[in-house]
Amino acid sequence: MAEDNLKQARTLRHIIVGGGMAGILAAIKLKEKGEAFILFEKADKLGGTWRDNRYPGLTCDVPAHAYTYSFEPYAEWQKFYATGEEIRVYFEKTAKKYDVLQHMRFGCEVTSCTWDDEKSVWQVGLANGEVHEADVVTAASGVLHHVTMPDINGLNDFQGDIVHSARWDDRVKTDNVRVGIIGNGSTGVQIVTALQKTASQVVHFQRSPQWIMPVPQFDYSDEEREAFRKDPALIDAIRNNPDYWASIYRFTAAIMNVDGDELAEVQKICEDNLNNSVTDPVLREKLRPDYRVGCKRLIYSWCYYDAVQQPNVDVEREGISHIEANGVRLKNGALIELDTLVLATGFQADRFIRPTVVLGRNGKSLDDVWQPTPTAYFAVTIPEFPNFFMLNGPSGPVGNFSLIDIAERQWDYIEQVLAPLRAGDAAQVAPSVEAHQDFEKRRADAARKTVFGSGCSSWYLDATGVPATWPWSYQDFADAMANPDFDAYIYQ
C-alpha cells in the first residue's frame, strides 16, 4: 500500500466467517459503521449452534432476556429459559431487522485464508473456487461445532435409529420406544428430561455423574409480553437484574478460588439439591459426582432429578463394552435392548476455524501454531496473523453465562484495535510474540489453579490437560475488553 494512502482515513473491507450469533453481531456492527463486508456461511441458513442443535428438550440455560444482543431486547420470549427454536427465530428476525442478510452468502464454505503481507490483505478462498480479498477477517466460526462421536466399538452394528444430538433427524423414533442416551453433559440431561415424557423407556448411560444446579423455569404470560413490548425498561430490569450479575461474579470468583466460600456455597446448593430431590439412596449415590462442583460445566435443570425418578427411566453407570445390533452391551455382560440410540457425546472444542487453512505471515500455518493446543492473545488475536480476529476464540470465559455478552465485549475490543487502521495510521495490526507469550503463560498458570483443573475430564481442558479457559473474573474480562493494551500490538 502506498505511503500517502496510509495517511487517510479509510473504510476497511471485511470478511466474516460464520453466520451464527457472533457473525450476525459483527455484521450488524459493520453495517452501522458503513464498512464493506461479506459474511460467508457454509450452511444454507444462519443460526450457528441454534440451527445445528434441534434435539428434544433444547433450551438455553441463560435466562432468555439475558441471552439477547444488548441493543436488541426481545419482548416475545415464551419462557424464562428459552427453547432453541425460539432463539433461532430471534437471530433470524434480528438479522432481517438490521438488514444484514443481503451481505450474507450461504452455502459458501471458507476453505482458506491467506495473508498477503505485501498488500496487507487476506485472500479468502471458498470451496467453490472463488477468492475474495479483505483487509480484515473475523472468525466467528463457533466453538461447539465439530461433533465428537464416541470411541465405542460397534456403533455401526446397531440396527435401530442412531443419531448425534447436534445432527438431530426428525425421522428418529422416540415416541413409545426404548431410547438410550449416551452422555451426561447439558445436552444429555436435557434430552433425557424431554424423552422421559414420550419414550416407553429411557436409559441414561452416564460415564460420569454431574452436579445439577436447581433453577426455576416458568412461562411469561401474554400480559407480560404485552408489557415488555410497551416498556422495554421492564426487559432491561430483568437483563440487568443485580442478582443475575452477582451470580456471574460469584461464579467466576468461585472458579478462581477452589478453597473459597463462593465455591463451597455452590457445592452446598448442588449437594442439597441431590440429597433433597432423589429419594432412593441407591439412585442418589449413582448420581453423586466424585469431583468438585464447577469442575465440569454446571448443569442447570429444574426437572432432571424428577425425570430420572420416573418408572420409565434408568440411570446406567456400568461402563459400556460395545454396541450390538439390538442395543448396548455393558462391561458386566448385560445387554440393554434399545430401539433408538442418542449420542449426546459433545464436541471437539479445540477446532475453532479449522479445518479452514489459515496462513499468516511467511506462510505460517495456524494449524501448526496451534499445536498442541490453540491459544490467542486475550482470546481475540494471534501474533503473525495480522488483521485476524476471533469472536469466542480460544481461552475466553466459559460458564453458565451469555456468550452473546462475551462476543459483544470482544467486538468492542476489536473496534478499538482496528481504529488506527481506519484512521489510516497503519495497514496491519497483530499482537507481539512476546506479549502473547507473556499473556499465555500468566493465563495457563492461573488456569491450572481454577476449579476446572481440579480433577475431572471436560471439554474445558486442552490437549495438555490445562484448562483452555479465561481463568480470571468476569470483571477482569470486561475491563480487559474495554481497555486494550495497545503496547502489546504492533501496527505497521
Region for 176 from its dihedrals, namely left if φ exceeds 0, alpha if ψ lies in -120 to 50, beta otherwise: left
User: Is the Cβ of residue 347 or residue 411 nearer to ligand NAP in the bound state?
Assistant: 347
Cβ 61 to ligand NAP shortest distance, Å: 4
Q: How far apart are CA 352 and CA 139, in angstroms?
A: 8
Cβ 69 to ligand NAP shortest distance, Å: 17
Cβ 472 to ligand NAP shortest distance, Å: 19
CA angle 400-404-406, nearest 5°?
75
Q: What residue has cell string 500500500?
A: 1
Cβ 106 to ligand NAP shortest distance, Å: 24
Cβ 340 to ligand NAP shortest distance, Å: 17
User: Is the Cβ of residue 59 or residue 381 nearer to ligand NAP in the bound state?
Assistant: 59
DSSP state of 362: G
Among 17, 24, 37, 61, binds ligand NAP (CB under 6 A): 61
Which helix (DSSP H) or strand (DSSP E) does residue 115 occupy? strand 110-116
Torsion angles phi and psi, residue 484, rounded to 5: -60, 145
Whether 349 contacts 147, CB under 8 Å: no
Tell me the three cell numbers of residue 398.
466459559
Residues 86-115 that bind ligand NAP (CB under 6 A): none
Residues 290-319 that bind ligand NAP (CB under 6 A): 297
User: Is the Cβ of residue 197 or residue 317 nearer to ligand NAP in the bound state?
Assistant: 317
Kindly give the pairing relationship between strand 13-17 and strand 121-126: unpaired
Among 174, 184, 301, 395, binds ligand NAP (CB under 6 A): 184
CA angle 385-387-389, nearest 5°?
85
Among 185, 294, 386, 484, binds ligand NAP (CB under 6 A): 185
- Would you count residue 188 as binding ligand NAP (CB under 6 A)? yes
Whether 149 contacts 456, CB under 8 Å: no
Residue 271 to residues 205, 214, 274, 396, Cα–Cα distance (Å): 21, 10, 5, 28
Among 201, 345, 375, 473, binds ligand NAP (CB under 6 A): 345
Total number of residues binding ligand NAP (CB under 6 A)?
26
Q: What residue has cell string 430471534?
A: 90
Residues 140-169 that bind ligand NAP (CB under 6 A): 144, 150-152, 165
Residues 458-477 that bind ligand NAP (CB under 6 A): 459
Stretch that binds ligand NAP, among 26-34, 178-186, 382-390, 413-421 (CB under 6 A): 178-186
Cβ 264 to ligand NAP shortest distance, Å: 23
Tell me the three cell numbers of residue 332.
458386566
Q: How far apart are CA 100 and CA 97, in angstroms?
A: 8
Q: How far apart are CA 210 and CA 226, in angstroms?
A: 38
User: Is the Cβ of residue 150 or residue 420 nearer to ligand NAP in the bound state?
Assistant: 150
Cβ 184 to ligand NAP shortest distance, Å: 4
Among 125, 142, 183, 394, binds ligand NAP (CB under 6 A): 183
CB burial readout 92-108, b (16+ within 10 A) else e:
bebbeebebbebbeeeb
Lay out the site mask for ligand NAP across 205-224 (x = CB under 6 A, - = otherwise). --xx----------------
Q: What residue has cell string 458503513?
A: 34
* Closest alpha carbon to 272 in 315, 214, 190: 214
Among 21, 110, 344, 366, binds ligand NAP (CB under 6 A): 344
Cβ 24 to ligand NAP shortest distance, Å: 18
Chain residues in the site for ligand NAP (CB under 6 A): 59-61, 144, 150-152, 165, 182-188, 190, 207-208, 297, 320, 344-347, 457, 459
